[in-house]
Amino acid sequence: MMEHRTQIRVRYAETDAQGIVHHAVYPVWFEEGRSDFLRKVDVAYSQWEQQGYFVVVVDLASRFAKPAYYENNLTVVTCLKRFRKRLMEFSYRVVDDTDTLIAHGSTRHLIMDSEGNPSALSDSFYQLVQQKMSASAEQ
């Protein structure tokens, strides 16, 4: 299963009055990991939207193991768990620079058309993404 690593440095605005990163920031980092995964595979999400495919989050789960702090250098490790024409599933681990687990989570996504109705990737786009993923995994 392919994994991609994305560097994140904690912004001051991402902390809260407990002095730690607010938990609602993690879904944003997961999304950035996912976006970065797709960019590295060379099928950037902006291309999906240009093709009329909107990938909508239907499910999110997250566990917070240790707090993160302002200026921490973190890595989001993103893994594509399932890739179907109608559905995608990603998992994530956020680790610090000693590889200690900060948080982990998963998201599930449905493919929608521009009207917000459930849709499916065309054969050709689905195969294009699969080929790019295989090529990326072999590097």
Name the H helices within the chain: 26-40, 45-50, 123-138
CA 138 to chain centre: 21
Q: Is 126 in the site for a copy of itself (CB under 8 A)?
A: no
Q: Given the complex with a copy of itself, which of 31 and 95 has the nearer CB atom?
A: 31
Within residues 28-47, the interface with a copy of itself by CB under 8 A covers 28, 31-32, 35, 39, 44-46
d(CA 110, CA 55): 6
Within residues 58-117, the interface with a copy of itself by CB under 8 A covers 58-64, 67, 69-71, 116
Candidates 10-18, 75-83, 87-95, 118-126 — which segment interacts with a copy of itself by CB under 8 A?
A: 10-18
Count how many Cα atoms sit within 13 Å of the Cα of residue 131 in the half-sphere of its side chain.
6
